Structure 1
């Protein structure tokens, strides 16, 4: 079999590419998906108690008109819109997010420790060489101590000194000393920072509903339960697990770039293989806890830098849509995320138990709630986040040009390995822009090798 455009993976990037190719009139397209479903990391699952769970805290917000129109076309009126309410759990209290803009909620002595460390001459002035140093330069030792360093280790499962900082952009709210002091003295809140201040969410089926609908539209071009085991860049062919060979003109990979190079591509290029081996990821254990009964809590999600819980984030998933809960309007869906890696070990066999205890420790549950648990559900993601380590950009500068010289392109959260361009809208648009580049010769703007 031969196709003009062969796409590995039917997650957001692969589906975005396939959808745009069809809009541009292309018909020689094939998407190969190893799972029985489409959606990739944006898939949703329903457990035996009727709770719907995402693979992490996904929300729909956008930087792109095309993506907005696509979501509206896919969902129609089957979505809810929310004003983000987020908080940080510290010192047995809730601090509105962003933490650094709402220090007045902290104990007075901690407020002063943080502000004192931010004063002129107190922060390091040398140019930072890694994420840990950047935190000290931008936020000072106080915010570094109480929030940025412990929280980021819980998220990335990677020491901050092993990470770069050029990925930050709009991902992290930086500090404004004048605003911090004004908010403290006048007791003001500042809760609206960030691109996801307003977001949408499907009424039914979780985030996966979006990509189920996209997959259904491309159904004739998607082959599920098909794993690619080998790629020959010279012959421009792939071999599937069932032994079929498919040739192509252009290949888009949306799976993990390191595995693609190390395990799938037929090459003995040691420079290429060494670069792929330098790409680092964490793993994430997603734990869903369904609890009978409601609380008056409009919070969307919460962050946890302290060590009294294993998770770095919990989502009130029932607030995204009541239909995410097993008993809509009468039960809560608490979706927790725990990272792990060689730098941060977790015992998966007991992690649900420690997650529930963490929910009690952080006041999201009490002992009565423990007796009223309706469901526990978990999903360990081997590939959770692509970590922006110091070695990442040099590795991508080796890998991507070589692949493109073979008419192979790698995009998406793990295909492109750029966390800063891996939101849901980014991921879809990486596929859309690749399709436009192939057909129309347009330059890609979302994914750019640095």
Structure 2
């Protein structure tokens, strides 16, 4: 089998590329997907109890007109729009997100500790060299201790001192001392920060519905159950676990770039292997816990909650029943808590114990009453090996080694793990990486979302 453009992975980036190639009239392409479904990390699943779950908390918001138009064409009216309501669980109380703008909700001692760390002369003036130093440089010791340090370790499963901070951009709200003091004194909240302060969500089928529909437009151009085992860049062939061999002119990889460079390539060299080994990632355990509503007081309007403290294994819980009533089996009568916990060599977890610990954490953090534990009607989970690409200190150096060598072989690597840049791996970013790659191939226009700078 031969094709002009071969795409590895039917996730957001791979499908974005395929959709744009098809849209521009290019018919000579093929997508290989290792699973029996499209979506990648944006897939959704329905459990035996009829609850729908995502692989973590995905929401639809956008920086791009093209992406907005694409979502309109895919979902039409089959979606809901929400105003974000997110909270942080700290010091046995709830603080509206962003934490640093709403510390008035903390107990007095913690509140003062956070303010004291922001006062002139209390924050370090030494330019930071890593994410851990940046946290204290920007937020002071109090906010660092009560939220930023423990939360980021729970998310990344990596000490902040082992991470760079150039990725931050719009991902983290920085702090304004005057605003903090004003909010405390006037007893007002500041909750509108961020590009996802409003977001959309499919009415049916979870986030995965977007990519099921997207893949459906491509029909036979996506071949499922094809897991790549080797790539011969000289012969320009990809071989899969089923014995399929595909010859290509140009290859787009959206699978992890470390696996591509270290494990699949027959033309790899020591420099590529060393660079691939410098990239780090965490793993994520997603637990879905469903209950019938017993008391109206169990229902609240929150979208998701962050958990920096050690009384729960998860770093985030999503009230998935609030995203769409159809995420539960009986709309309006059930609750769906989607909980995410990370692990790595720096933060080991006994995965087989995480479901029980998740339910304990829901009780410890007041999400579920202790008397309701035996009422849980469904427990769903998925263990994701590649959860987040960690922006480790050696990441940019490693990518600067890998990309030029790969592109010299007519291999391009994009997407959440194909590109390994967390700062451009929102759903819209990921789709647009594929779209812009396709336009670069067909129209010779520069990519804007994923750059080598």
Q: TM-score, length-normalised on structure 1?
A: 0.99
Query: How far did residue 108 of structure 1 move?
Result: 1.2
- What is the CA deviation profile of residues 182-237 of structure 1, one whole-angstrom value per residue up to 9, with x for unaligned ones? 11111111000000000000000000000000111111201011111111111111
Structure 2 counterpart SS, 1:413: coil
Query: How far did residue 371 of structure 1 move?
Result: 2.2
Structure 1 counterpart SS, 2:113: helix
Query: How far did residue 378 of structure 1 move?
Result: 0.5
Equivalence for 1:189: 189
Which range moves more in the overlay, 254-263 or 239-248? 239-248
The answer to whether the 8 Å contact 1:292/1:369 transfers is no
- What is the CA deviation profile of residues 412-432 of structure 1, one whole-angstrom value per residue up to 9, with x for unaligned ones? 000000000000000000000
Equivalence for 1:247: 247
User: 2:314 matched to 1:311?
Assistant: yes
Equivalence for 1:211: 211
Equivalence for 2:150: 150
Equivalence for 1:449: 452
Equivalence for 2:383: 380
Equivalence for 1:56: 56
Structure 2 counterpart SS, 1:371: helix
Q: List aligned pairs for 1:121-160, cutoff 5 A.
A: 121-160=121-160
Mapped to 1, the partners of 2:449 and 2:372 lie a distance apart of 44
User: 2:25 matched to 1:9?
Assistant: no
Mapped to 1, the partners of 2:21 and 2:355 lie a distance apart of 43
Equivalence for 1:201: 201
Query: How far did residue 120 of structure 1 move?
Result: 1.1
Structure 2 counterpart SS, 1:350: helix
User: 2:404 matched to 1:412?
Assistant: no
Query: How far did residue 114 of structure 1 move?
Result: 1.0
- What is the CA deviation profile of residues 130-185 of structure 1, one whole-angstrom value per residue up to 9, with x for unaligned ones? 00000010000001111000000000000000000000000000000110011111
Structure 2 counterpart SS, 1:445: coil
Mapped to 1, the partners of 2:220 and 2:353 lie a distance apart of 43
Q: TM-score, length-normalised on structure 2?
A: 0.98
Query: How far did residue 268 of structure 1 move?
Result: 4.2
The answer to whether the 8 Å contact 1:173/1:194 transfers is yes
Query: Of 305, 321, 328, which residue of structure 2 is paired with 1:325?
Result: 328
Structure 2 counterpart SS, 1:414: coil
User: 2:397 matched to 1:394?
Assistant: yes
Query: How far did residue 368 of structure 1 move?
Result: 2.7
Equivalence for 2:45: 45
Q: List aligned pairs for 1:326-341, cutoff 5 A.
A: 326-341=329-344
Mapped to 1, the partners of 2:353 and 2:240 lie a distance apart of 36
Mapped to 1, the partners of 2:94 and 2:372 lie a distance apart of 20
Structure 1 counterpart SS, 2:351: coil
Query: How far did residue 19 of structure 1 move?
Result: 0.2
Equivalence for 2:363: 360
Query: How far did residue 93 of structure 1 move?
Result: 1.1
Structure 1: any 5+ residue segments left out of the alignment?
none
The answer to whether the 8 Å contact 2:15/2:434 transfers is yes
Structure 2 counterpart SS, 1:338: strand
Mapped to 2, the partners of 1:283 and 1:276 lie a distance apart of 17
Mapped to 2, the partners of 1:146 and 1:367 lie a distance apart of 26
Mapped to 2, the partners of 1:365 and 1:296 lie a distance apart of 11
Aligned length: 450
Query: How far did residue 250 of structure 1 move?
Result: 0.7
Query: How far did residue 116 of structure 1 move?
Result: 1.0
